[in-house]
Amino acid sequence: MEFAVSLVRRIAWIAGDHDMIGTLRRWFRECGLLEAIRHHDDGVIFGWLAEAISYQGVSDRVASQYIEQHGMVTAQELEKGLGRKGLCPKLGSYWRFEGCGYQKDSRSCNEPEHYRRCPLPRHDLRNGSLNQAAYSLHFFMRDVAGGDFVEWLDERLAAADDLNVSVRAQRMRDAVVEPLLHVHGVSHKVLNMTLACLLLGGDVRRKRWQTAGAVMIAVDTLVHNWMWRSGLLQRLGALHPYGAACYGNRGCAWIIELLSREIDATEFCEAYPAYFPRFVQHAIWAFCAASESNQCNGNNIDDRERCELSDCPLFEECDRVRLGPD
């Protein structure tokens, strides 16, 4: 643990965003999300969430280029299409929508007799799963959240809040993350990343939003691979393949939570909560990401051998475990 805490604390100084919440709020103000949250405007919030979901599965550059060329689906477009008569029964509600099965490449679905009149394929998203995700999210916000997503978040967080338990923040996080994991095609990583941004930057006066957002951890391959290469997983007896295991017992997310209890985030910004796993996870990601510090990633390291990047600021401390396929 001493090794792990020392290494991660150095990364937090090198690559951590020491104004994360302020950066989010400036971004949200520019895109109109702060105003949407204030007025409980589900249409704007849906558009922001749907765009965030569309970034999963490919690089940010590829996703943003596709959106720039083809646009994104809006709540107004969905509502207009769903207002037509004689639509597929799967478009009746959130619960009926399961098993839609739309595939963009083959122009097929699980209700072929309704395909010609279906509005879902008319949105030119990157793949059919994203079309399904957009409709599933829309139905969730309409049917499960009752057409007021902000109020739903407030109620779920309040119901899970218990000052007398040590895992208070995790209880509130799970209260909003777990139901949304049933939205079609939404991964653990993207959901935690997106909700963390929304809750941390959306309204600093909503203390429960801040508490839950602070413990939402998004583990991608950069984070997992750094924890492997550095020797951190090996030293903590937590070696596992990338994927669902990262969120399981002794997975990456669990380790980041553990380390965050030893790293007081107010060292880096007085306004931060002392316990801030999202900040710690984001610092690891930024240390590795090509668009950020660009230190520890597959572009720079030949994973058939131990890392030889002697100019890395962690080179002397890092165990430099080989990430080879065996």
Task: Give the model confidence (pLDDT) of 48-73 as tens digits.
Answer: 999 999 988 777 788 889 999 998 99
- Domain-located, residue 102: yes
Q: Is the pLDDT of residue 192 over 70?
A: yes
Percent of the chain with pLDDT over 70: 99
Dump pLDDT digits (tens) for 297-312: 999 999 999 999 999 9
Domain count, the chain: 1
Please answer whether residues 176 and 212 qualify as being in contact, where contact means their C-beta atoms are separated by less than 8 angstroms.
Answer: yes
Residue 40 belongs to domain spanning: 23-213
Position 144 in a domain: yes
Mean pLDDT score across all residues of the chain: 94
Burial classification of residue 126, based on how many CB atoms lie within 10 Å of its CB (0-12 exposed, 13-18 middle, 19 or more buried): middle
| Domain assignment present for 69 | yes
How much of the chain, in percent, has pLDDT values that exceed 90? 90
Averaged pLDDT, 157-175: 93
- pLDDT, one tens digit per residue, over 97-134 is 999 999 999 999 999 999 999 999 999 999 999 999 99
State the pLDDT at residue 49: 96
Concatenated DSSP letters of 166-232: TTHHHHHHHHHHHHHTTSTT--HHHHHHHHHHHHHHH-TT-HHHHHHHTT-----HHHHHHHHHTTH
Task: Quote the pTM value.
Answer: 0.92
40: left (phi over 0), alpha (psi -120 to 50) or beta: left
Listed residue (231, 220, 245, 270) closest to 60, CA to CA: 220
pLDDT tens digits, one per residue of 228-237 = 999 999 999 9
What is residue 32's predicted lDDT score, i.e. its pLDDT?
Answer: 96
pLDDT at 162 over 80: yes
Residue 292 covered by a domain = no
Q: What is the pLDDT of residue 326?
A: 57
Beta bridge partners of 108: 103
* Between residues 59 and 216, the one the model is more confident about: 216
Calculate the CA 326 to chain-centre distance. Answer: 29
| Backbone φ, ψ for residue 252 (5° rounding) | -60, -45
In a domain, 118, yes or no: yes
Mean pLDDT on 165-191: 94
- Written as six digits, the tokens of 55 are 């970034």
Question: Does residue 308 fall inside a structural domain?
Answer: no
Q: Is residue 203 part of a domain?
A: yes
What average pLDDT does the segment 195-208 reach? Answer: 96
> Average pLDDT for residues 149-173, to the nearest whole number?
95
pLDDT, one tens digit per residue, over 242-289 is: 999 999 999 999 999 999 999 999 999 999 999 999 999 999 999 999
- What number is the average pLDDT over the span 12-22? 96
Residue 150 in any domain: the answer is: yes
Q: What is the pLDDT of residue 91?
A: 97
